[in-house]
């Protein structure tokens, strides 16, 4: 597995704003942003998973380097400033591009990249420290287990867990799976060509539950999850996972996005960061976009450093932006930055 290798360039939006790689105390149109900490975990990282569980925020795994250092740790925080390492070496091993969910009184970790191997296993925990593997990894094509994958979407919707799209060894996916126990999964929608009722195959998509619907926003396509040949700026929703409606053909985000995040924030869809794909190149972003219907969006710049493949959560009436990667800077000497900060806004 190699790091996302698209060339990250200086964003035209950034140039137009007249801003540099410095922090600003406010974010126009979205209220004041604050940095809770600049040193949340043992090391900066991206591709981490997380959720809200037992009235705390949780962050699991991730990677740094050109996806060469994988983390198997589990952290929690009740305030975003102080993070407790609940388990420094969880039994699922180093994970990147997995998903975490809070469901049925348990913390769940699903799939992802385990130190270079794509996985389709499922783990659960009552406390973030003690973990049980409820579904073992398998490469056998099955009607009750999704294929190994990373960079997919996952949700809790209608009292069930859902896995959506992502990248498997065969390429990007647009299938949809659901489970009420993590052990047996039902394929609600098979991989397909995409069309009026199904979004195109993609990885790096963002997903959220909002207005009693599941939402899919953006994502990328390519022969591997490290090679972007196309990206999407569309918005889709579904009430059942099998039939999807395209709410927006294009968004006002400034182009096609992948590895952005989406959350339900006080009855708004909120999208943060991501990699903007334009004319064959990409740049990490620092936007904060909100919408009440998935069609009309309010777009503003945020003061946190540009980033993609980060974690965002809705917790304690705030939107939180956590860690990620920044391949962008205004100096030729700047390299990749694996972020370790936490920001929040109302």
| Domain regions of the chain by residue span | 12-345
Tokens of 79: 């305030």
Separation of alpha carbons 284 and 223, rounded Å: 21
Alpha helices in the chain (DSSP H): 12-17
Instruction: Read off the tokens for 67.
Output: 């996806």
Cα 78 to Cα 207: distance, rounded to the nearest angstrom:
24
* CB neighbour list of residue 174: distance below 8 Å, 6 or more residues apart: 165, 189, 191, 192, 194, 198, 199, 200, 201, 202
* Residue 252's pLDDT band (cuts 50, 70, 90): confident
Count of Cβ atoms closer than 10 Å to residue 160 Cβ: 17
CB atoms within 10 A of CB 56: 18
Determine the topology of domain 12-345 in CATH: Neuraminidase (2.120.10)
Distance between CA atoms of 31 and 25, rounded to whole angstroms?
10
Q: What is the mean pLDDT of residues 146-150?
A: 98
Say if residues 67 and 96 touch (Cβ distance below 8 Å): yes
Predicted confidence band at 225 (pLDDT cuts at 50, 70, 90)?
low
**CA–CA dist 45, 173 (Å, integer):** 25
**For residue 124, is pLDDT > 90?**
yes
**In the structure, what pLDDT confidence band is assigned to residue 266 with cuts at 50, 70 and 90?**
confident
DSSP letter string over 59-116? EE--EETTTTEE---EEEESSSS--EEEESS-TT-S-BS-EEEEETTEEEEEEEEETT
Percent of the chain at pLDDT exceeding 90 = 75
Residue 264's beta-bridge partner residues?
A: 269
Mean pLDDT of the chain: 88
Give the tens place of pLDDT for each residue, 71-121.
999 999 999 999 999 999 999 999 999 999 999 999 999 999 999 999 999
Whole-number pLDDT of residue 331? 46
For residues 154 and 145, the answer to whether their CB atoms sit within 8 Å is no
Residue 31, pLDDT score: 58
Predicted local confidence at residue 15, as pLDDT: 26
Asked if the model's pLDDT at residue 218 lies above 90, the reply is yes
Q: What is the pLDDT of residue 224?
A: 65
pLDDT in tens, 63-73: 998 889 999 99
pLDDT at 13 (0 to 100): 30
């Amino acid at each position: 597995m190699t790091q996302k290798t698209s060339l990250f360039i200086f964003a035209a939006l950034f140039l137009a704003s007249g801003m540099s790689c410095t922090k600003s105390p406010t974010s126009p149109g979205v209220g004041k942003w604050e940095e809770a900490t600049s040193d949340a975990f043992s090391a900066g990282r991206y591709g981490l998973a997380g959720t809200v569980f037992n009235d705390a925020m949780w962050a699991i795994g991730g990677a740094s380097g050109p996806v060469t250092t994988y983390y198997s740790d589990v952290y929690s925080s009740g305030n975003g400033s102080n993070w407790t390492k609940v388990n420094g070496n969880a039994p699922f091993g180093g994970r990147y591009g997995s998903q975490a969910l809070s469901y049925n009184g348990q913390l769940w970790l699903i799939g992802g990249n385990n130190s270079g191997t794509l996985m389709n296993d499922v783990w659960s925990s009552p406390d973030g420290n003690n973990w049980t593997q409820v579904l073992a990894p398998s490469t056998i094509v099955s009607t009750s287990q999704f294929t190994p994958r990373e960079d997919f979407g996952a949700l809790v919707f209608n009292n069930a867990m859902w896995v959506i799209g992502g990248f498997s060894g065969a390429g990007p996916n647009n299938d949809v799976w659901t489970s009420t126990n993590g052990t047996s999964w039902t394929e609600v929608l098979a991989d397909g060509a995409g069309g009026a009722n199904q979004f195109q195959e993609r990885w790096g998509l963002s997903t959220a539950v909002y207005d009693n619907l599941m939402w899919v926003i953006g994502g990328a396509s390519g022969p591997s999850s490290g090679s972007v040949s196309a990206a999407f700026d569309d918005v889709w929703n579904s009430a059942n996972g099998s039939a999807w409606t395209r709410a927006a053909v294009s968004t006002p985000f400034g182009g096609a996005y992948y590895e952005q995040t989406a959350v339900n924030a006080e009855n708004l869809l909120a999208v943060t960061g991501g990699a903007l794909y334009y004319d064959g190149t990409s740049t990490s972003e620092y936007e904060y976009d909100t919408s009440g219907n998935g069609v009309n969006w309010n777009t503003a710049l945020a003061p946190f450093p540009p980033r993609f493949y980060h974690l965002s959560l809705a917790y304690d009436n705030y939107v939180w932006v956590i860690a990620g990667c920044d391949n962008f800077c205004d100096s030729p000497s700047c390299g990749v930055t694996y972020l370790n900060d936490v920001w929040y806004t109302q």
